[in-house]
């Protein structure tokens, strides 16, 4: 029966049905998986297969189209789309299996030509990784590439990024980059080979956002499950909150900044953006008048520990003994940890390790003055991080300890630097 | 100026205002904190204080009321309220500072006499801890106390619990207890000394729930910020998602089972409960016909690791080398981990450690077949845990490894046992 290989277009006959599609890799030798034209995969038990017809042998897809040559429009902003990989820039690789990142930003423009009505688009693939493999070292590369593009005249930047860790990167870039133009991260939850893909609408919306009179780092993703609008989120106030839905990203402890309609190209501000920049004028040919400075010093010896009943406090000692400079605790409730690990926390702070407290409730604010547990932790030197997300606190600590001594980092960790902390969380950000 | 002590009722005069309230402990020697009559604390800088009048010296509050003696009603169910501590059972202790758990369940009944119209109430304090200090050892005590109460004729159980870890306990009891009556955990986000307390309405609603023809473990908390209704959540499908709001608890990947109106005492089912028990009849005097068995074997050498960019994979080796039997990974997206830690994961699975994958997106389902990263992790022996919450997977692994060998635990970790996994997550559980 196995005269066919992964990548072949085949027709499988079972007792009652005929399935046509491309063979995908299967984890189970008893099952043949094919990707059908509608984009969905179906697995068919070998035992139920009556016959297989190979309609077309598979071959490596080739992408050897010439580079794009497009006339620059003087009344449009110059936007650089930097691709780092991920679903927004992915295709299914029928030869090696499942979904792999592959398209360059150039290919994206080819797929969505209407981007050219919104801005002068430049595309560049700066990385090609799955975002689950993102590291602080890659953040530095991205920051450097952003700097280059701004120096080369970009009026706005779009970063195509895998969604798994997009909020970590958005937050890292928020701290690392000081620019007076918008830097907009965008991803997709469904790859562009699927009819239900959100890649195009997200990318169009991100490019719209990148032409706005704002500055700083943002995330643009679907605002609801349907293909209706996208939200513009602040880069250090957003989190992936669903594994598969298109509206997976939510602003936390604040509402999104704006609603973007990718069909009409309209943007509706829901609140005043924190970082307005009305003066972001269009750069002329090879000119650059935009402020840009980056700071790529990051201390990687920083750990995130999530608290749970029965947690082994010695994990803290492990980090301390291995030279860690900072620990972010994802505590319970208002910022608590079991008293059984107080001695371990004391071990850390006594050795000069910066220990900061966030909450695993995600929504809400740490308040370590209400209960005795929180007060004790403060006496041990633990710093409550207000309404900052644990993921953001982790990245911020890497940034602070990469640039300052521990005393200064301790002073800054719970002060708002780039919008990561709001003084009063909006009531309508949680319901 | 300091002729006053913590607990004293004082009147503080500043240039423009007079504050009256009870002195609370202060973390800052330069600040006097008083709790005002409206329940809020205010801190006043010593430098700004013109004068202090002591209106009444403080004294230790005494609670020496006689035990409750209430006539049993034959048409009402017998509900045992077991108090473990936490805000729902707390008062402000003006002598030792902040909010401390103190009230016994008996005191709760005294505070909310209308409970006696809903059920025959028995109160018992089984623990008096802040829930951030909850441990698997305490879960065993709670399970044993529940068993005792059911054997003594309870038709339903209410557990007053601190909210920080209430969902961990609810999930632990879901696995540990096999009973044909409802066991309802309830907490409060604001202590009962504050006018905005949710303690009474939550407790009334929990008692209503405990008289319902259902079985298994549940959580009852406010359904919205206002004092309008409570939700009945499944014990292994619920999570604290806000640090301070009264509607902090949300069902995840499913909708709540029912809406409870604590004013009219009505309950409205939003979906068919998974564990109906129409046959839960009222026990007569000292009789017990209810099924109850508990299993308190828990393997405590189980760890939860949250993934983030730059994570040190050697943390996995640390746990393996310290005799851990299981690790729950809180991965990114559909259940991913950086390829840099694959070798550490292999080290764990090679040594026979059970490694399971959940997602830090909280909402949604793990699907490790979509991307190459997930497929690789499966090849290393990592088990995807469907739409089970990371916190629940942790507790379930403690339970499984406490009762079965690793092979059997591996087989059961992603199978639904008590409602912790739903085959298809409801679309309307995320918006």
CB contact under 8 A, A130 and B373: yes
Q: Which two tokens stand for residue A301?
A: 């010896």
Could you please report the per-residue DSSP string of B108-173? HHHH-TTHHHHSEEEEEE-----GGG--HHHHHHHHHHHHHHHHTT-SEEEEE--STTHHHHHHHH
What sign has the CA pseudo-torsion A219, A224, A226, A231? Answer: negative
Cα(A63)–Cα(B97) distance, integer angstroms: 69
How many residues can be counted in chain A? 431
Residue A340, chain B, CB below 8 Å: the answer is yes
Query: What Cα–Cα distance (Å) separates residue B57 from each residue in A48, A309, B60?
Result: 85, 40, 10
Cα(A27)–Cα(A196) distance, integer angstroms: 25
Q: Which two tokens stand for residue B127?
A: 């623990």
**3-state SS, residue A90:** strand
Q: Could you give phi then psi for residue A38, rounded to 5 degrees?
A: -75, 0
How many residues can be counted in chain B? 431
Could you please report the per-residue DSSP string of B213-265? SB-EEEEEEESSSSSS-EEEEETTSEEE-BSS-TT-EEESSS--SEEEETTTT
Identify the pLDDT of residue A410. Answer: 98
Residue A310, chain B, CB below 8 Å: the answer is yes
Closest to B132 (Cα-Cα) out of A389, A59, A225, A345: A345
Identify the pLDDT of residue A27. Answer: 56
C-alpha torsion A28→A31→A35→A36, nearest 10 = -160
Q: Which residues of B touch A306 (CB under 8 A)?
A: 304, 306, 330
> Which tops the pLDDT comparison, A425 or B233?
B233
Residue A323, chain B, CB below 8 Å: the answer is no
Query: What Cα–Cα distance (Å) separates residue A89 from each residue in A355, B114, B243?
Result: 38, 61, 37
- Which of B244, B343, B384 is the best mutation test for A, with the most CBs of A within 10 A? B244
- Which of B31, B165, B310 is the best mutation test for A, with the most CBs of A within 10 A? B310
The interaxial angle of helices A314-321 and B314-321, nearest 10 deg, is 130
Q: Which residues of B touch A359 (CB under 8 A)?
A: 243
Q: Taking chain A, what is the end-to-end CA distance rounded to the nearest angstrom? A: 56
Residues of A serving a catalytic function are 87, 163-164, 240
Residue A340 in contact with residue B130, Cβ under 8 Å? Answer: no
Q: Which residues of A touch B364 (CB under 8 A)?
A: 242-245, 248
Q: What mean pLDDT do residues B75-85 have?
A: 91
CB contact under 8 A, A361 and B243: yes
Residue B172 in contact with residue B394, Cβ under 8 Å? Answer: no
Task: Identify the H or E element spanning A318.
Answer: helix A314-321
Nearest chain A Cα to B378, which residue?
Answer: A27
Which residues, in sequence order, are CB contacts of A333 under 8 Å at separation 6+?
A359, A361, B131, B132, B162, B163, B164, B240, B243
CB contact under 8 A, A359 and B243: yes
Q: Which residues of B touch A314 (CB under 8 A)?
A: 322
Residue among B334, B394, B431 minimizing CB distance to A244 = B334
Cα(A151)–Cα(A292) distance, integer angstroms: 8
**Minimal Cα–Cα distance from B270 to chain A, Å?**
18
Residue B339, chain A, CB below 8 Å: the answer is yes
Residue among A224, A308, A365 minimizing CB distance to B243 = A365
Identify the pLDDT of residue A90. Answer: 59
The residue assigned the tokens 């088990």 is B383
Residue B142 in contact with residue B125, Cβ under 8 Å? Answer: no
Q: Could you give phi then psi for residue A306, rounded to 5 degrees?
A: -95, 130
**Minimal Cα–Cα distance from A74 to chain B, Å?**
40
Q: Which residues of A touch B429 (CB under 8 A)?
A: none
- Let me know the angle formed at the C-alpha of A41 by A37 and A47, rounded to the nearest 5 degrees: 115
CB contact under 8 A, B366 and A394: no
Residue B428 in contact with residue B255, Cβ under 8 Å? Answer: yes
Q: Which long-range contacts (CB under 8 A, 24 or more apart) does B15-20 make?
A: B15/B48, B15/B50, B19/B44, B20/B55
Identify the pLDDT of residue B366. Answer: 97
The answer to which of A16-25, B249-258, B376-385, B415-424 has the lowest mean pLDDT is A16-25
Cα(B370)–Cα(B334) distance, integer angstroms: 8
Residue A426, chain B, CB below 8 Å: the answer is no
Which residues, in sequence order, are CB contacts of A183 under 8 Å at separation 6+?
A146, A156, A157, A159, A173, A177, A210, A216, A217, A218, A235
CB contact under 8 A, B373 and A169: no
Residue among B169, B333, B372 minimizing CB distance to A243 = B333
Q: Which residues of B touch A162 (CB under 8 A)?
A: 333
Residue B356 in contact with residue B414, Cβ under 8 Å? Answer: yes
What value does the mean pLDDT of chain B take? Answer: 89
**Minimal Cα–Cα distance from A179 to chain B, Å?**
24
pLDDT in tens, A320-356: 999 999 999 999 999 999 999 999 999 999 999 999 9
Cα(A83)–Cα(A105) distance, integer angstroms: 5
Residue A362, chain B, CB below 8 Å: the answer is yes
Residue among A172, A242, A378 minimizing CB distance to B361 = A242
- Let me know the angle formed at the C-alpha of A355 by A350 and A357, rounded to the nearest 5 degrees: 140
Cα(A288)–Cα(A348) distance, integer angstroms: 47
Count of CB atoms situated within 10 Å of the CB of A415: 9
Closest to A298 (Cα-Cα) out of B187, B309, B292: B309
Cα(B109)–Cα(A175) distance, integer angstroms: 52
Residue B97, chain A, CB below 8 Å: the answer is yes
The distance of Cα B419 from the centroid of its chain, to the nearest Å, equals 17
Q: Which two tokens stand for residue A265?
A: 């190209």
Residue A315, chain B, CB below 8 Å: the answer is yes
Q: Which two tokens stand for residue A123?
A: 């595309």
CB contact under 8 A, A309 and B373: no
Which residues, in sequence order, are CB contacts of B40 under 8 Å at separation 6+?
none
Q: Which two tokens stand for residue B25?
A: 């402990």
Residues of B serving a catalytic function are 87, 163-164, 240
Residue B322, chain A, CB below 8 Å: the answer is yes
Residue A175, chain B, CB below 8 Å: the answer is no
Q: Could you give phi then psi for residue B160, rounded to 5 degrees?
A: -80, 125
The answer to which of B120-134, B143-157, B222-236 has the lowest mean pLDDT is B120-134
Residue A93 in contact with residue A100, Cβ under 8 Å? Answer: yes
Query: What Cα–Cα distance (Å) separates residue B421 from each residue in B89, B270, B414?
Result: 31, 19, 8
Q: Which two tokens stand for residue A315?
A: 């994990």
CB contact under 8 A, B308 and A99: no
**3-state SS, residue A423:** coil
- B264-292 CB burial, b ≥16 within 10 A, e <16: eeebeeeeebbbebeebebbeeeebebeb
Cα(A122)–Cα(A69) distance, integer angstroms: 10
Q: Could you give phi then psi for residue B342, rounded to 5 degrees?
A: -60, -40
**3-state SS, residue B340:** helix
Q: What is the 8-class DSSP label of residue B382? A: P
Cα(A270)–Cα(A255) distance, integer angstroms: 8
Residue among B99, B100, B364 minimizing CB distance to A244 = B364
Residue A326, chain B, CB below 8 Å: the answer is no
Residue B382 in contact with residue B357, Cβ under 8 Å? Answer: yes
Residues of chain B with pLDDT > 70, as a percent, come to 89
Q: Which two tokens stand for residue A71?
A: 């006339």
Residue A117, burial from CB neighbour count under 10 angstroms (0-12, 13-18, 19+): exposed
Residue A25, burial from CB neighbour count under 10 angstroms (0-12, 13-18, 19+): middle
Which residues, in sequence order, are CB contacts of A5 under 8 Å at separation 6+?
A23, A57, A58
Q: Which residues of B touch A300 (CB under 8 A)?
A: 310
Residues of chain A with pLDDT under 70: 1-2, 25-29, 39, 59-66, 68, 87, 89-108, 191-196, 285-287
Task: Identify the H or E element spanning A35.
Answer: strand A31-36
Residue among B25, B163, B306 minimizing CB distance to A306 = B306
**Minimal Cα–Cα distance from A337 to chain B, Å?**
6
**Minimal Cα–Cα distance from A231 to chain B, Å?**
14
Could you please report the per-residue DSSP string of A65-85? PPPP--PPPTTS-EEEEEE--
Residue A361 in contact with residue B241, Cβ under 8 Å? Answer: yes
Q: What is the 8-class DSSP label of residue A247? A: T
The B residues from 130 to 159 touching A (CB cutoff 8 Å) are 130-136, 138-139
**Minimal Cα–Cα distance from A39 to chain B, Å?**
12
Residue B380 in contact with residue B371, Cβ under 8 Å? Answer: no
Residue B226 in contact with residue B410, Cβ under 8 Å? Answer: no
Q: Are strands A78-83 and A156-160 parallel, antiparallel or unpaired?
A: parallel
Cα(A209)–Cα(A282) distance, integer angstroms: 15
CB contact under 8 A, A309 and B165: yes
Q: Which domains does chain A have, with CATH numbers?
A: 9-56 (2.30.30.520), 78-294 (3.40.50.1170), 302-412 (3.40.50.40)
Nearest chain B Cα to A247, which residue?
Answer: B431
């Amino acid at each position: 029966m196995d005269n066919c290989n992964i990548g072949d277009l085949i027709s499988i006959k079972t007792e009652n049905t005929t399935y046509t599609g491309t063979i995908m890799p299967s984890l189970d030798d008893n099952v043949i998986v094919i990707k059908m034209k509608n984009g969905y995969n179906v697995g068919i038990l070998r035992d139920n297969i009556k016959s297989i017809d190979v309609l077309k042998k598979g071959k490596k897809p080739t992408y050897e189209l010439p580079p794009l040559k497009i006339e620059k429009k003087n009344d449009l902003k110059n936007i650089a789309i930097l691709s780092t990989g991920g679903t927004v820039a992915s295709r299914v690789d029928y030869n090696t299996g499942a979904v792999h990142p592959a398209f360059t930003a150039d290919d994206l423009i080819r797929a969505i030509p209407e981007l050219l009505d919104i801005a002068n688009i430049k595309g560049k693939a700066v990385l090609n990784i799955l975002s689950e493999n993102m590291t602080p070292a890659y953040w530095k590369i991205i920051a450097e590439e952003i700097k280059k593009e701004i120096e080369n005249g970009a009026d706005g930047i779009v970063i195509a990024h895998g969604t798994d860790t997009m909020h970590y990167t958005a937050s890292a870039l928020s701290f690392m980059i000081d620019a007076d133009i918008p830097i907009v991260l965008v991803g997709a939850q469904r790859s562009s080979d699927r009819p239900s893909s959100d890649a195009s609408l997200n990318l169009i919306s991100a490019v719209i956002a990148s032409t706005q009179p704002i500055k700083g780092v943002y995330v643009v993703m679907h605002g609801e499950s349907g293909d209706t609008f996208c939200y513009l989120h602040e880069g250090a106030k957003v989190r992936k909150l669903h594994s598969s839905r298109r509206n997976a990203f939510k602003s936390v402890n604040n509402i999104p900044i704006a609603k973007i309609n990718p069909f009409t190209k309209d943007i509706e501000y829901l609140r005043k953006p924190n970082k307005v920049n009305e003066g972001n004028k269009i750069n002329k040919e090879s000119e650059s008048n935009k402020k840009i400075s980056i700071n790529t010093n990051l201390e990687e010896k920083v750990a995130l520990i999530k608290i749970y009943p029965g947690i082994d406090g010695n994990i803290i000692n492990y980090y301390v003994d291995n030279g860690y400079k900072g620990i972010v605790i994802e505590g319970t409730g208002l910022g608590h940890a079991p008293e059984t690990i107080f001695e371990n926390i004391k071990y850390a702070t006594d050795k000069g390790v910066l220990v900061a407290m966030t909450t695993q409730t995600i929504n809400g604010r740490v308040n370590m003055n209400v209960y005795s547990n929180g007060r004790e932790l403060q006496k041990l030197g633990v710093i409550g991080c207000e309404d900052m997300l644990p993921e953001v606190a982790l990245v911020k600590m890497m940034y602070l300890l990469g640039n300052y001594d521990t005393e200064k980092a301790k002073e800054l960790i719970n002060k708002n630097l780039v919008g990561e902390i709001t003084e009063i969380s909006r009531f309508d950000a949680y319901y």
